[in-house]
Amino acid sequence: MRRVVSIGGATFICLLVAIGNSSAFAGASAQPYWAWAFNGPATGLPQKPPPPVEALPLSDPAKHTLPGSQMSFTAAEVANVNRYWPVDWFPEDHPMPVPDVVAHGKESEGIFPCAVCHRLNGNGRPENSAVTGLSYEYFMQQLMDFRNDLRQTSDPRKTNTAKMASFVKALSIEELKAAAAYYTAISAKLWIKVVETETVPKTFNRNDTWIVVKGADAGVEPLGRRIIETPVSDEADLWKDPRSGFIAYVPRGSVKKGESLVKSGITNGKSKITPCTVCHGDDLRGLGPVPRLAGLSASYVARQLYDMQNGNRAGPWSVLMAPVLSELDEEDLLTASAYLASLAP
C-alpha cells in the first residue's frame, strides 16, 4: 500500500506494510516496564509501601533560596499542596509573560497548570515530557490528539496521561494556543545526563519517577536491560529546582548500538529500518513539524514508541512511523532511547 501523508508544508511518502490496522503493531516489542517506573506487570498484590521520603520542613517559616535565584520561598510554598501556584524560582528564564493557563490553570474547575507537570521552563520530567524545542504546529497537533483520545497510556497504572488529556479537553482552543505559543518560544536545553553502567542505586517509584532509596535499605543492584532515570539531586527535586535535571543510567554499550540503529537503521550488523534521521533530521533536532528527538528523556521516548506500536498513540501523523515501528523490538527501544537521551538538543 502506498500512502501520502501531508504534514503542514512537508509531504512524506511512506510505504506501509500490508497490515489490517495501520496504527497498531502489537507484538513487535515487549513492554519496557522501566519506562513507566515499574519492574514488571501489575500483580494484583498490594504494593510494598515506599520507603520514607525526605520531606520538606513544611512548618518551617524560614524562606529558602536556590543558587542563582533572586527569589525565596518557604517550604510550604514550594510544596504547594493546592497545586495551582507553582513557585517561580527564575522568572528571568521565561521568553514572555507566562500565560495564566500555564502558571495557574483553573482552580475552580480542578484544571492543574501545565507548569505543575512540565514546569515553567518546559523541561518537564521523565514521567511527563519536555515541551521545549518543538514547532508550534507539532505542539498543537499533539494537544488535539490528546483531546481526541488518540494519545493514551499503555499502562493504566500511570494516571498522569489521562489527567493531561482531561485538562486539554476542558480548556478552550485560545487557552491551548496561548500555552503553545509560550512553550514553543523556548529552545531545548540539555536536561538528561546519560551514564553507562552495570549496576545502579536501588530506586523506588515515587509519583511515576524512579527515586534513589536512602537509609537502611539503600544499596546497588544490577541494571540488567533497563534504563533508570532519576533526579540528579533528590534534594533539588524536592525544592523544585527547575535547573536541576535528571540522570539516565543505561546499560554499557547501549548508546553506540542505539546510534547505529537511529542513524543508519542497522542493528547487529543487519539493515533493519529507515534511519530515524530521514524524518527527524540529520542532527535529530527535528525537521519542520517533525519533532526533535535529541536530548529527550529515555523513558519518555521508550513509552512513546511502545504506545505507537500498540495503537495508544495514533494521531494522524503517527502513521508515518508505521513501517519503522513494526520492526522495533524491546532491545531497539532501549538502545534508541539511550542514544537519543545522550545527545545535546
Contacts of 48 (CB under 8 A, 6+ apart): none
Cα 74 to its chain centre, rounded Å, is 29
Query: Shortest gap between Cβ of 142 and ligand HEC (angstroms)?
Result: 4
Q: Per the structure block, which three cell numbers stand in for 125?
A: 520530567
The footprint of ligand HEC (CB under 6 A) covers 12, 14, 101, 112, 114, 116-118, 128-129, 131, 134, 139, 141-143, 153, 160-161, 163-164, 167-168, 171, 179, 262, 273-274, 276, 278-280, 290-291, 293, 300-301, 303-305, 313, 315, 317-318, 320-321, 324, 336
CB closer to ligand HEC out of 181 and 238: 181
Residue 153 · residue 312 · CB < 8 Å: yes
Query: Shortest gap between Cβ of 261 and ligand HEC (angstroms)?
Result: 6
Query: Shortest gap between Cβ of 9 and ligand HEC (angstroms)?
Result: 13
Question: What is d(CA 215, CA 134) in angstroms, rounded to the nearest whole number?
Answer: 40
CB closer to ligand HEC out of 79 and 171: 171
CB closer to ligand HEC out of 37 and 114: 114
CB closer to ligand HEC out of 120 and 321: 321
CB closer to ligand HEC out of 78 and 279: 279
Question: What is d(CA 145, CA 274) in angstroms, rounded to the nearest whole number?
Answer: 25
Question: What is d(CA 290, CA 85) in angstroms, rounded to the nearest whole number?
Answer: 33
Residue (of 238, 182, 173, 171) closest to 206 by Cα position: 238
Q: How many residues does the chain have?
A: 345
Query: Shortest gap between Cβ of 272 and ligand HEC (angstroms)?
Result: 9
Contacts of 79 (CB under 8 A, 6+ apart): 56, 58
Question: What is d(CA 46, CA 53) in angstroms, rounded to the nearest whole number?
Answer: 19
Residue 171 · residue 101 · CB < 8 Å: yes
CB closer to ligand HEC out of 255 and 273: 273
Q: Per the structure block, which three cell numbers stand in for 74?
A: 518557604
Query: Shortest gap between Cβ of 194 and ligand HEC (angstroms)?
Result: 15
Query: Shortest gap between Cβ of 233 and ligand HEC (angstroms)?
Result: 22
Please say whether the dihedral angle defined by the alpha carbons of residues 328, 329, 330 and 336, taken in this order, is positive or negative.
Answer: negative
Query: Shortest gap between Cβ of 271 and ligand HEC (angstroms)?
Result: 13
CB closer to ligand HEC out of 171 and 228: 171
